[in-house]
Amino acid sequence: MPELPEVQALADFLQERVSGRVVTDVELGSIAVLKTFDPPPDALVGAPVDRVSRHGKFLDLDVDGTHLVFHLARAGWLRWYDQVPATRVRPGKSPIALRVRLDDDAGFDLTEAGTRKGLAAYVVTDPTQVAGIASLGPDPLADGFDEAALTALLEGRRTQVKGVLRDQSILAGVGNAYSDEILHAARISPYTLAAALTAEQVHTLYEALRTTLEAAVMAAAGKPAAQLKDAKRAGMNVHGRAGEACPVCGDTVREVSFADSSMQYCPTCQTGGKLLADRRMSRLLR
């Protein structure tokens, strides 16, 4: 799933290519992808794209005051064309969920692989009409998000810190992959309760949060959409690297499996050498 750094890179990528261009057509390859009905997609046609921005993991194209907002979910992606194929999208016949054509013959598809469909698109007059945007917590890279703000978010929360980092209503943009990387950089167990973190640990977590995301944003900057997935994988120290050596201490990166996801961590760096039991087992090691 693309997270804050990749979504920001996609926003920048699109901003350079679509700003000032006029939308000439919007084609739906999946009726289910569109979560709104008023305004209709045709409301975008004939209007110029003013700006592309990011809200957490949501992308927002401001098309002369009407917004095309989309969330790529677990298996969605954006495919850019300098020249969009002339063939129109046929509903149900391809992974293409939505296609946008522009007046210079360029454009993009929103695609989704697999059978579990989560990609969502919205046409609204205000991005906050999208429930997922209206409920977002603060952006961790916003200028006003300081250590005191993170402290306030963590205070009193009797939930595991990894879950807090991933909760979009608490903090916008961080998902499974970067929460693994942030906690590894901070040398904190993912099972630690947020409320139990010491002031020193919160300071370390804040520094890890900012530096990890800032480095990932820089690494993704300027890359075309087609290269962002590989760039994300290349930048990971522990996420997706179970069985490999930790680049910091050399210990073996371990994995905990869940029903539909997994997390990775380094025992030496994060848990004092203890192995975390699989969440599907009855007992957890902390």
**pLDDT given for residue 91 in this prediction:** 86
**The residue type at 264:** Q
- The DSSP secondary-structure symbol of 259 reads S
Rounded distance, CA 218 to CA 276, Å? Answer: 32
For the chain, residues classed under CATH 3.20.190.10 are 4-134
**The residue type at 94:** S
Residues 6+ apart with CB under 8 A from 168: 56, 57, 132, 135, 136, 137
The residues facing 76 across adjacent strands are 112
Contact, 191 vs 284, CB < 8 A?
A: yes
Contact, 52 vs 60, CB < 8 A?
A: yes
Q: What topology is assigned to 147-270 in CATH?
A: Helicase, Ruva Protein; domain 3 (1.10.8)
- Cα torsion 233, 238, 244, 247: sign: positive
Q: Which of 273, 230, 233, 232 is nearest to 251 (CA)?
A: 273
Contact, 87 vs 109, CB < 8 A?
A: no
Task: Specify the 3-state DSSP secondary structure of 55.
Answer: strand
- pLDDT in single tens digits along all 286 residues of the chain: 899 999 999 999 999 999 999 999 999 999 999 999 999 999 999 999 999 999 999 999 999 999 999 999 988 999 999 999 999 998 877 899 999 999 999 999 999 987 677 999 999 999 999 999 999 999 999 999 999 999 999 999 999 999 999 999 999 999 999 999 999 999 999 999 999 999 999 999 999 999 999 999 999 999 999 899 999 999 999 999 999 999 999 999 999 998 778 999 999 999 999 999 875 543 444 4
Give the architecture-level CATH label for domain 4-134. Answer: Alpha-Beta Barrel (3.20)
